[in-house]
Structure 1
Amino acid sequence: MMRLYWIPENRKDALSMEWLSWELLIWPGWVLAVLLVIIGLAGTILPILPGVPIVLLGLVLMAWLDGFVHVGWGTLLWLAFLTVLSVLIDFIATAEGARRFGAGRYAILGATLGLLVGLFFGIIGILLGPFVGAVLGHMAGKANLDDSLRAGFGASIGVVVGTVAGAAIGAIMVVWFALAWWL
């Protein structure tokens, strides 16, 4: 095993600090990696956190701690692709949900901006942000209140779809990593 020394190994005097080795640093690294995956999976359901990217960070840390022996770069590149796909789906689902319920260009833009602003206000902001943004955007496009509320409802449905898709992709990533590790 590789050892991390502050002073070269050939100097075996009292100042060598042999107690500071790679073995002592690896366990906190594994704890951090597992915590990142757990927090990331929670973040896919609670959209306060960027869940799937945090899952990817934890999985990359696990692979690095193992020296990329069990999980290689090919698997990690596919997991990175899934991460990008998850982020795209999250934003597209909100806009598409609004569009499917009759929202115009301004409502879709409002829903997207509402989601971005809502990220700063926790779960309530994430759920209400796209709704309010779509309603305001749709009304700015000279629509009536009923149509605007329908567009806001569609945007909220899109957020739920994006959240479910993100949770599914996060779970797929963990299973894919585990299969690559053990097979």
Structure 2
Amino acid sequence: MDSTTIYYLIAALLILVGLLGTVLPVLPGIPLMFAGMLLAAWAGSFQAIGAPALIVLAMLTLVSVAVDFWATAHGARRVGASRMAMWGAAIGTLVGLLFGLPGLLFGPFIGALAGELAHHRSLHPHRVGHATKVGAGTWVGLLLGTALKLALAFAMLGLFALAWWL
């Protein structure tokens, strides 16, 4: 197996892992995809994928990073989340990874809820209701961010394939 084939295999692996990373928050999904696409372009001596396509792919990568931060913060901010709730959502997401799909779905919500309750240090029914609202808002923000990142990931794959075959 020659070195070019190895580079293409590594590039394909980076793209696949990156695609998984768009839904698994612990992986930098779209940046990994871009790294794989850049490696594939380099392995092909930039003949199939040139500078214009790479610039657009790089811009989409930067947009995805901004979307990731914006969607989570926007969802949490809209419902008045504390900084502890946002940390709780991040920790809940990481812990949730250990429990598969149910953990990914409920981990951020439970983490944000726990963080908000810890912030207020009170189990008063009003505080619990607010914390639940914060957990749900943070979860919706994460879900929105994931949907937007998936859309960007598939747009990047389409652009890459189009540039490769044209």
Q: Would the TM-score normalized by the shorter structure come out above 0.5?
A: yes
1:131 and 1:155 in contact (8 A); partners too: no
Q: Who is 1:169 aligned against?
A: 152
Cα root mean square deviation, aligned: 2.5
Q: 1:79 to 1:131 in 2, by over 3 A?
A: farther
Distance of 2:106 and 2:129 partners within structure 1: 19
Q: Who is 2:64 aligned against?
A: 86
The amino acid of 1:153's aligned partner reads A
Q: 1:151 to 1:119 in 2, by over 3 A?
A: closer
Identity of aligned residues (%): 33
Alignment of structure 1 residues 1-183 onto 2, 5 Å: 24-100=2-78, 102-104=79-81, 106=82, 109-118=83-92, 120-121=94-95, 122=97, 124=103, 127-129=106-108, 131-133=110-112, 136-137=115-116, 140=119, 144-183=127-166
**TM, length-normalised to structure 2:** 0.80
- Deviation digits for residues 124-149 of structure 1 (CA, Å, limit 9, x no counterpart): 36852465235523762587110111
**TM, length-normalised to structure 1:** 0.73
Unaligned runs of 5+ in 1: 1-22
Distance of 1:160 and 1:49 partners within structure 2: 16
Distance of 2:105 and 2:86 partners within structure 1: 11
Which structure is larger by alpha-carbon Rg, 1 or 2?
Answer: 1
Q: Which of 53-62 and 91-100 deviates more?
A: 91-100
